[in-house]
Structure 1
């Protein structure tokens, strides 16, 4: 029986199109399909739990290996930071964790309020944008090392992703127990980020961890200042 492919309009016989490999008959979307899609996004087949374990125990070595040798074992970095940020965002919105710590509604600037409101609702993308600023400082502080800007950005996707999981865990505990823990999670995540970045560049030097901390803080500050300047510029132009 000759069929016409719905994807490329090629005539073929059999279960699959011999031109584009489109199935002759698509399976109906059901619960199994949804689970498969979630597994595909999270790359469970490549070990999200392995990724988290590797980044907690030996972040420097694991990320170096991903960059230069083997990219099949760790979850893709951009997917990783988006998913981990989404986990934190979901827990935060459910328990309203940040309501007692962060508020942008009192700011008179509508543009600034909108920008920081977007950041709070889209931590995954916001973290990637902030990572661009942090990567620039890391590139400056560690300019003697042979890593380009984009490789450093990959490092930050993994490291900030784990930091978001730390925040998510403490947010969940605080939401359930009502015990204020988020200030401690902030210190722990800062400590982890400094340790992981320092280990990536040179774990033998204390200066690596110090420079990593300063680069991260400066990256956060410059990204926030840039957001404020953009907000004020928008308000100036349109008011």
Structure 2
């Protein structure tokens, strides 16, 4: 018999039948920390690495299955967004991408701020995109909270792409190159959004999903850009 160190229950086997904790609770050391990081982020059959891999294989189907109950191997979507945003922020600032001198200050200020703080931009505006998706696809069976999960997965997917593009952004110093990359990322974002929406809302016609995806994305960009613009002006970040 094993005494569970978490709840005090007596049990046999590898896991406590009352709280689920493992019978093997090793002392916390460097091996424990590395195992925690490795299993949480990179493990091939669970964690962020697993969830991200699946989001680039069959995203809409994976999210559908998650909402329907297949959740054991996946990292929690809201936590994943926060971690991915943190990774983006860390790489962005390590590459010192805050100081791109060639941007025109008057026309590029808001766009500059969005990319400088893209990590919090996508997290802070997640409820906005959830709302626009919920409004456009409200005839489906999903409630607002399920759409939040849906959009959280999609946000992590887009963050993954933006993280991969950060080294490219590092070498783009001129204004025209930055604008080209920005437009390319917006196009890639929408392609990922439509691809995921098409699989997730598979009972709808392709044309209907495309139109609703475009409208939802445009509504999101307009509302989010207005809010960012007001914030930039209010806090005096335009100079």
TM-score, length of structure 2 as denominator length: 0.69
Question: Unpaired runs of 5+ in structure 2?
Answer: 10-20
Mark the CA change 1:233 to 1:66 in structure 2 (over 3 Å): closer, same or farther.
same
What CA distance in whole angstroms lies between the structure 2 residues aligned with 1:15 and 1:64?
36
Structure possessing the higher radius of gyration over alpha carbons: 1
Mark the CA change 1:92 to 1:231 in structure 2 (over 3 Å): closer, same or farther.
closer
- When the two chains are superposed, the root-mean-square deviation of aligned CA atoms in Å is 4.0
Mark the CA change 1:86 to 1:18 in structure 2 (over 3 Å): closer, same or farther.
closer
Q: 1:137 maps to what in 2?
A: 132
Mark the CA change 1:174 to 1:106 in structure 2 (over 3 Å): closer, same or farther.
closer
Question: Unpaired runs of 5+ in structure 1?
Answer: 1-13, 108-112
Q: 2:170 maps to what in 1?
A: 175
- The answer to whether the 8 A contact 2:98-2:116 is kept is no
Per-residue CA deviation, residues 89-135 of structure 1 (Å, 9 max, x unaligned), is: 222222234643998x879xxxxx9xx96994572x54233111111
Check if 1:35 corresponds to 2:30.
Answer: no
SS in 1 for 2:72: coil
Per-residue CA deviation, residues 171-203 of structure 1 (Å, 9 max, x unaligned), is: 124436989573323321222123212331236
Per-residue CA deviation, residues 125-148 of structure 1 (Å, 9 max, x unaligned), is: 542331111111111111110111
Q: 1:158 is matched with which residue: 147, 153, 160?
A: 153
SS in 1 for 2:82: helix
Comparing 153-162 with 212-221, which one deviates more in the overlay? Answer: 212-221
Comparing 216-225 with 129-138, which one deviates more in the overlay? Answer: 216-225
Check if 1:195 corresponds to 2:195.
Answer: yes
What CA distance in whole angstroms lies between the structure 1 residues aligned with 2:165 and 2:118?
19
Q: 1:226 maps to what in 2?
A: 227
- The answer to whether the 8 A contact 1:135-1:156 is kept is yes
Q: 2:15 maps to what in 1?
A: none
Q: State the 1:211 CA deviation.
A: 1.4
Mark the CA change 1:172 to 1:85 in structure 2 (over 3 Å): closer, same or farther.
same
- The answer to whether the 8 A contact 2:114-2:228 is kept is no
- The answer to whether the 8 A contact 2:60-2:196 is kept is yes
Per-residue CA deviation, residues 59-101 of structure 1 (Å, 9 max, x unaligned), is: 1111000001311122210122122222222222222346439
- The answer to whether the 8 A contact 1:198-1:212 is kept is no
TM-score, length of structure 1 as denominator length: 0.69
What CA distance in whole angstroms lies between the structure 2 residues aligned with 1:101 and 1:56?
34
> How many residues of Structure 1 are paired with residues of Structure 2 in the alignment?
212
